[in-house]
Chains A and B, each alone.
Chain A
Amino acid sequence: MAKVTATPVSTLVDEPVHIRVTGLKPFQVVCLQASLRDEKGNLFASKAYYRASEVGEVDLEQDPSLGGDYMGVHPMGLFWSLKPEKLLSRLAKKDVTIPYEVHIELREPHFPIKGVVVSPPMDSLTLERWYVAPDVTRIQVKEGRLRGALFLPPGEGPFPGVVDLFGSTGGLVEFRASLLASHGFAAFALAYWAYDDLPSHLEKIDLEYFEEGVKFLLRHPKVLGPGVGVVSVCKGAEVGLSMAINLKQIKATVLINGPNFVTSDPHVYHDQVDQPVPCNIEFVTTNALGLAEFYRAFEETANKDSKYCFPIEKAQGHFLFVVGEDDKNLNSKVHAHQATAQLIQSGKKNWTLLSYPGAGHLIEPPYAPLCSASRIPYVIPSISWGGDVILHAAAQEHSWKEIQKFLKKHLLPDMSSQL
């Protein structure tokens, strides 16, 4: 009798699952389908076709998918190739305390045609995918001006502290911080606009607000000092870089697909004001599907002249640049190379650059579905983020491990110095 198994059944969302099928006829071709509903009820689905071995089994860790949403040997392909039924939707968990339920179905191969009745699956199962490990604590933060959520690992600690910043979607995005806490970091998801009583529109980046966030983190009894790290993406990485330069408590900064200059709103720190770099909207292009590609907008300004760029050589901590070479929203590869060139010129070696061919803008923890285009508030047309589904998945897996290694290396005390 045909059966599909997946282990473990309940895991963290950044951990792999081993999927197998047994009880098929020799060389039988079957279809494996995955689906989940997000918190708004939107359906995300994927499928792949496999041919059973001569003993009627399929093992996703060894067997190639013949077609569907991905081809080749990809044990987690059903997860990272999930696609929204409602076009241009992005999968982004809001309530990290509740898992996603992923349904896996084993079916006969079929091509869905309207009006044709599909026979029931041969077998199915449901997996839980969590954004928090058991006993991770979530603390809503509303202190002074700060608005966000602090995630603490279980135990006494103290734990290395990390400020987690997202980008142009605004609001409070918690899912990466909760995962970092599940791996031993005290992670502070910090909102800076469009959340609670924070400004609804971003008019300036007030670095004193982020300094308050860093000090709050360092004051916490379970946070290991004397410095903290920053994990930041897109506009968050613009802020992260600015923090690393101006705030001496920042020891390790992860910059994912970020600009090395001020893009749209001035950065203010005490008396210092950094104005945005002029951009040329006329260089924005639209791809064959009508999605806007913004990555050429700074071609004539920031890309050409480093006078526009942040003085990254003034930063005292370490940097990890994570670049998706197929980023269609920002010319991430050029920005990162410019920043590292500045560091090289100043004789500094405090950086690592990880550049991933085929990866797009939205590099997230492993197994997150590739979102290659979506709508964001206030912007029409919809935005292309780029990314080839298979290469993007590989970049997510590799970079997440590297990010954690990097943070631990620079935030945990060096044991060898204590001999």
Chain B
Amino acid sequence: MIQVIASPSNALADEPVSIRATGLPPSQTVTIKATLKDEKENVFQSKAFYKANEAGEVDLERASALGGDYVGVHPMGLFWSLKPRKVFQRLLKRDVMNSPFVITLDLYDSVCLQDSVTIKPKASQIVQRWFAGPGVQRKQIREGRVRGALFLPPGEGPFPGIIDLFGIIGGLVEFRASLLASHGFAVLALAYFAYDDLPDKLLEIDLEYFEEAANFLLAHPKIQQPGIGVISTSKGAEIGLAMACYLKQVVATVCINGSSAILDFPLRYRDLVVTAIPRAQERIQVHASGAVRFRSFIDDPWNKLNPHSILPVEKAQGWILFIVGENDESLDSKACAQRAMDQLHSHGRSSGRMLAYPGAGHLIEPPYAPCCFASWNSGLPNPVLWGGDPMAHAAAQEHSWREIQKFFRQHLPQSRSKL
């Protein structure tokens, strides 16, 4: 009997799944297809072609895909190579507590390049991918100016606290915070514009808002004192780095593909105003797909005209982990992180570390998330080019996620109670 077996079929989205096909004719070339429908009914699909062995089996942990969305031995390839049917859409889980992403794995005993209504799969298996583990609690936060969602692990705590910041996508993005909470951290997914009664547009970075959030987190009975961490991506990472520089409450900061100078909008903190480096319109580039490449859009922030926009990383009292994708097409992330590292060294600080991933793009997310090469971004008529070679990007996501958790366990005050 032809079967496709995935185990575990019900797991956290950042956990691997073992997929096997059995009962096939020996040496048959087969197709395994994965299909997912997101919360807006957008369809994402991937497929790979494998040759069954003499026993009529395909074990994705050992077998090499011959073609399709990836080539070679990639046990989780069907997950990270998922592509939207409508190009330039990004896969992003919004409701993290009440429903998983549901992926249908279909096994065909022939090579199926095109979708067909008439050819039916010989076997199917449903896999559920959750963004919050058992016992994780979500609390909507509306305290003072602070807007977001706090995710708490099961148990008494106290737990190491982290603020999670995303970028120009705006609104409230929760899926990474809920996953981190599933690994024992108390995480506040913090919105800063285009959410609730926050400003619609980002016009300046008001660091006092982020300080309020940090103080709120530290005041919470289930959060371990005396310092918190920050995990931040893109524009969020620019803010995260500013928090590391100016707020003593922040003791460990992860900056993923962010600028180390203030761009576009000024940063304000009490009396201090850090001016932004303006964009050079003429340096924008358009990729063959029509997506806009922002990587060259800023002049070198370190040229003599912009010294005041560079963040004073030497003032940061805590630890900083820079994670960069070398194929980031929206920002020269590696150059930005390298400059910050050089700044730290030149001030005799050894509190910084950089993990640079060749082939990885801008949107480095938890493992097995599809590599989003380009997508629509709010307010812009053209899609934005993020970059990334899917296989290298997938490896970077797996490696960096482990490193991020290790970093926080090492540098955040740990709870005394066992998790």
Bind each other: yes
Chain A residues near B (Cβ < 8 Å): 29, 31, 46-47, 49-51, 66-69, 71, 81, 83-84, 87, 109-114, 280-286, 288-290, 292, 296, 370, 372-373, 379-381, 387-389
* Minimum C-beta distance from B263 to chain A (A): 14
B residues 281-311 in Cβ contact with A at 8 Å: 281-286, 288-290, 296
B417 within 8 A of A: no
Contact among B283, B380, B381 for A67, CB-based, below 8 A: B283
Q: How far is the CB of A60 from chain B (nearest CB, A)?
A: 15
Q: List 7 other contacts, CB 8 Å, given A289-B374, A373-B289.
A: A67-B283, A68-B282, A282-B29, A282-B68, A285-B68, A285-B71, A372-B288
> CB-CB < 8 A to A110: which residues of B?
281
Do the beta carbons of B388 and A288 come within 8 Å of each other?
yes
Nearest A-chain residue to B49, judged by Cβ? A282
Residues in chain B near residue A286, CB distance under 8 A = 47, 68-69, 81, 83
Cα(A284)–Cα(B48), bound, Å? 10
Out of B83, B113, B281, B289, name the residue touching A281 (CB < 8 Å).
B113
Which A-chain residue is minimally distant from B288 (CB atoms)?
A372
Q: Does B410 contact A (CB under 8 A)?
A: no
B336 to chain A, nearest CB (A): 20
Given contacts A114-B380, A282-B29, contact A292 B286 (CB under 8 A): no
Interface mask (B75-87 → A, CB under 8 Å = 1, otherwise 0): 0000001011001
Verify if B8 is at the interface (C-beta below 8 Å from A).
no
Chain B: which residue is nearest A381 at the CB level? B114
Q: Inside 8 A of A51's CB, which chain B residues have their CB? A: 282
User: Is the Cβ of A284 less than 8 Å from the Cβ of B373?
Assistant: no
B279 contacts which chain A residues (CB < 8 A)? 111
Output the nearest chain B residue to A69 by Cβ-Cβ distance: B286
Q: Residue B273 at the A interface, CB < 8 A? A: no
21 contacts between A and B (CB under 8 A): A31-B282, A47-B286, A49-B282, A67-B283, A67-B285, A68-B282, A71-B285, A84-B290, A87-B289, A111-B279, A112-B381, A114-B380, A281-B111, A282-B29, A283-B67, A285-B68, A286-B83, A290-B83, A373-B289, A379-B114, A387-B288
List of B residues within 8 angstroms of A282 by Cβ: 29, 31, 49, 51, 66-68, 111
Inter-chain contacts of B286 with A (CB < 8 A) = 46-47, 68-69, 81, 83
B371 within 8 A of A: yes
Nearest chain A CB to B67's CB is how many angstroms away? 4
User: Which residues of A lie under 8 Å from residue B374 when comparing CB positions?
Assistant: 289
Interface residues on B, range: 35 or more
Query: Does B379 count as interface, using CB distance less than 8 angstroms?
Result: yes
- Interface residue? B41 (CB, 8 A): no
Knowing A285-B68, A289-B87 are in contact, say whether A380-B284 is a contact too (CB < 8 A).
Answer: no
Taken together as a complex, chains A and B put the C-alpha atoms of A46 and B70 apart, in Å, by 33
B288 touches A284 (CB 8 A): no
Chain A hits for B373, CB < 8 A: 288-289
Q: How far is it, in angstroms, between the C-alpha of A285 and the C-alpha of B111 when the chains are bound? A: 12
Contacts of B280 in A (CB 8 A): 67
Residues of B within 8 A of A (CB): 29, 31, 47, 49, 51, 66-71, 81, 83-84, 87, 111, 113-115, 279-286, 288-290, 296, 371, 373-374, 379-382, 388-390
Do B282 and A66 have beta carbons less than 8 Å apart? yes
Contact of A109 among B29, B84, B281 (CB under 8 A): B281
Determine whether the beta carbon of A67 is less than 8 Å from that of B113.
Answer: no
Central interface residue in B113, B373, B390, by most chain A CB within 10 Å: B113
Q: Which applies to chain B's interface (DSSP): helix, strand, loop or mixed? A: loop
Question: Which residue of chain B has its CB nearest to the CB of A388?
Answer: B288
Contact B381 A114 (CB under 8 A): yes
Chain A nearest CB from B327 CB (Å) reads: 10
A294 to chain B, nearest CB (A): 9
B371 close to A288 (CB less than 8 A): yes
User: What is the chain A residue whose CB lies nearest that of B112?
Assistant: A281
Listed from nearest, the 5 A-B pairs whose CB atoms lie closest are A49-B282, A282-B49, A109-B281, A290-B83, A288-B373
Known A67-B296, A290-B84; judge A380-B282 contact (CB<8 A): no
CB-nearest residue of chain A to B374: A289
| B178 → chain A closest CB, angstroms | 27
Q: Give chain B nearest CB distance to A300 CB in angstroms.
A: 10
Given contacts A113-B379, A283-B66, A289-B373, contact A389 B288 (CB under 8 A): yes
> Are A288 and B114 in contact (CB-based, < 8 A)?
no
Query: Is there contact, CB below 8 Å, between B381 and A87?
Result: no
Query: Chain B residues with Cβ under 8 A from A66's Cβ?
Result: 282-283
Which residue in chain B gives the minimum CB-CB distance to A47?
Answer: B286
Q: In the bound complex, do residue A29 and residue B281 qualify as a contact, i.e. CB atoms below 8 Å apart?
A: yes
Query: A393 CB to closest chain B CB, in angstroms?
Result: 12
Bound CA–CA A292/B69 (angstroms): 9
Cβ contact of A284, chosen from B67, B84, B379, B388, cutoff 8 A: B67
Closest to B66 in A: A282
Provide the residues of chain A in CB contact with B281, threshold 8 Å: 29, 31, 49, 67, 109-111
A296 to B379, CA, bound (A): 39
Check if A87 sits within 8 Å of B371, measured CB to CB. no
**Shortest distance between the CB of B388 and any CB in chain A (Å):** 7
Residues of B near A84 (CB, < 8 A) are: 290
- Give A248 Cβ to nearest chain B Cβ, in Å: 40
A284 B87 Cβ-Cβ under 8 A? no
Instruction: Say how far B77's CB is from chain A's closest CB, in angstroms.
Output: 11
Q: In the complex, what residues of A have CB within 8 A of residue B371's CB?
A: 288
Q: Are B87 and A290 in contact (CB under 8 A)?
A: yes
Pick the contact of B284: A67, A83, A381 (CB < 8 A): A67
Contacts of B47 in A (CB 8 A): 286
CB distance from B91 to the nearest CB of A (A): 13
Enumerate chain A residues within 8 angstroms of B70, measured Cβ to Cβ.
285
CB-CB nearest in chain A for B361: A288
Cα-based distance from A280 to B296 in the complex (angstroms): 41
B288 contacts A113, C-beta separation under 8 Å? no
With A and B bound together, what is the CA distance between A58 and B385 in angstroms?
Answer: 29
- Inter-chain contacts of B289 with A (CB < 8 A): 87, 289, 372-373
- B285 engages A285 (CB within 8 Å): no
**Which chain A residues border B381 with CB–CB below 8 Å?**
112-114
Q: Identify which of B69, B283, B290, B382 contacts A285 (C-beta below 8 A).
A: B69
Q: Which residues of B contact A292 (CB under 8 A)?
A: 113
A408–B419 CA distance with the chains assembled, in angstroms: 82
- Which residue of A49, A113, A284 contacts B68 across the interface (Cβ within 8 Å)? A284
Q: Please, which residue of chain B has its CB at the minimum distance from the CB of A67?
A: B283
Chain B residues near A83: list those with CB within 8 A. Answer: 286, 288, 290
Cα separation A380 to B68 with both chains bound (whole Å): 13
Q: Which residue of A lies closest to B69 (CB)?
A: A286
Given contacts A285-B69, A285-B71, A389-B288, contact A109 B282 (CB under 8 A): yes
Q: Please determine whether B380 and A113 come into contact, CB atoms closer than 8 angstroms.
A: yes
- Which residues of B lie under 8 Å from residue A380 when comparing CB positions? 114-115
In the bound complex, residues from chain B placing their C-beta under 8 Å from that of A69 are 285-286
Smallest beta-carbon distance B321→chain A, Å: 27
Given A109-B282, A290-B87: A285 touches B67 (CB 8 Å cut-off): yes
**From B50, which residue of chain A is reached at the shortest CB distance?**
A282
List of A residues within 8 angstroms of B283 by Cβ: 49, 66-67
Quick check: A288 and B389 within 8 Å, CB to CB?
A: yes
Q: Is the CB of B69 within 8 A of A111?
A: no
Tell me the minimal C-beta distance from B386 to chain A in angstroms.
Answer: 10
Nearest CB in chain A: distance from B65 CB, A: 9
Report the Cα distance A283→B283, complex, angstroms. Answer: 39
A272 to B297, CA, bound (A): 61
Separation of A304 and B408 alpha carbons in the complex (Å): 53
